[in-house]
Amino acid sequence: MRVAIATAQVPFVRGGAEVLAEGLLGALREHGAQVELVGLPFRWHPPDRLLDHLLAARLWRLDEADRVIGLKFPAYLVPHPDKVLWLVHQHRAAYDLWGDPAGGLPDTAQGRAVRDAVRRADDAWLPEARRVHTISPVVSDRLRRFNGIASTPLLPPLAAPGAFRAGSYGDYVFAPSRISSAKRQVLLVEAMRHVRAPVRLVLAGPAATTVELETLRAAVHRHGVADRVTLLPRWIPEPEKVELLAGALAVAFVPRDEDYGYVTLEAAAAGRATITSTDAGGPTLFVRDGETGLVRPPEPRALAAAIDALASDRREAARLGANAHDQLAALDLRWDRVAAELLR
């Protein structure tokens, strides 16, 4: 079978969605399919550019493929008689992030027109797919709430779970993620003002924009924690990430309504507890408060108390990390199962 994976790609931006697409590519090839990863260049600014992308997706023709697997907006709207969706997410600025500065669509006449066009496109063309899967119950819930479309979650595995290992517990909390307001690194910086234990915060990941990076740097200096926060604003190669996870006291990941959250799975694979927030979305599918990590309100003092708790009781940090590792093993997330489902 010849399979085209249809996705969207912001040039020079790499994150969990790109890792997922590459993992799927390899899994489908292992399953015997002839596969191409087809990426539509994508930009969300200025807002009316989204209308161009909608048109481009509908003008795409992947007739050489026996099956198309759609991942990201707007590439999942490409017409094809045998299309299956594995939705990473929709264009959230038109849905749950409408009116939020993090979404990027302004509440203006133009912004509302673009929002409505995106929603109409999803309503009209998502049902073209033979089957609709999503990467998590969080994404499925949004799709049902906003579009009335039923879907089946199909959880992605890590690319290489065996690469992670547990080392000795160090003096830092590790927070790997793309730097953006949606991931809320500034919230973690604010929390460090209230942390009493002698631990550091290591923030690692590329910035979504220069403005996001400068905002984070300004927060570090404004809160007077420059000596306690290490900032690595770049894509972290896998070997370096493995080492940083292995030596961490814990992992902190406090996004707002994350679609899935590879960070949580990577922490578990390394035997590390995750500190997350009650409104984090995807991470709360895996982090059980007091069992595999700590779940706290998205408030600086509450997160600081969680960091202090693990710093003062490393046996507890180790217990939570071991439980997280065992839970991940019990889930038995495997790429061969994903491939089989998307090819059937």
Tokens of 188: 């973690």
Q: What is the dotted CATH code of the domain comprising 2-154? A: 3.40.50
| Strands annotated E in 93-211 | 131-134, 152-153, 172-176, 200-204
Question: pLDDT confidence of 166, banded at 50, 70, 90?
Answer: very high
Burial of 281 (0-12, 13-18, 19+ CB in 10 A): buried
Each residue's pLDDT tens digit, 67-111: 999 999 999 999 999 999 999 999 999 999 998 887 889 999 999
Each residue's pLDDT tens digit, 261-307: 899 999 999 999 999 999 999 999 999 999 999 999 999 999 999 99
Each residue's pLDDT tens digit, 317-339: 999 999 999 999 999 999 999 99
Could you identify the residue written with the tokens 């997280």? 324
Percent of the chain at pLDDT exceeding 70 = 100
Where exactly does CATH 3.40.50.2000 map onto the chain? 161-331
Could you identify the residue written with the tokens 């990390």? 321
Alpha-carbon dihedral angle through residues 5, 7, 10, 16, given to the nearest 10 degrees: -80
Each residue's pLDDT tens digit, 2-48: 999 999 988 877 778 888 999 999 999 999 999 999 999 988 778 88
257-264 average pLDDT score: 94
Tell if the pTM clears 0.85, that is, is over it.
yes
Each residue's pLDDT tens digit, 169-220: 999 999 999 999 999 999 999 999 999 999 999 999 999 789 999 999 999 9
| Strands annotated E in the chain | 2-9, 34-41, 67-72, 83-89, 131-134, 152-153, 172-176, 200-204, 229-232, 250-252, 274-277, 293-296
Give the sheet arrangement for strand 34-41, strand by strand. 34-41, 2-9, 67-72, 83-89, 131-134, 152-153
Query: What distance in Å separates the CA atoms of residue 86 and residue 164, rounded to the nearest whole number?
Result: 26
Query: What distance in Å separates the CA atoms of residue 55 and residue 254, rounded to the nearest whole number?
Result: 35
| Strands annotated E in 182-266 | 200-204, 229-232, 250-252
Candidates 30, 53, 27; CA nearest to 42 is 53
Query: What distance in Å separates the CA atoms of residue 192 and residue 208, rounded to the nearest whole number?
Result: 23
Question: pLDDT confidence of 61, banded at 50, 70, 90?
Answer: very high
**The predicted structure's pLDDT at residue 343:** 97
Q: Tell me which fold the domain 161-331 belongs to.
A: Rossmann fold (3.40.50)
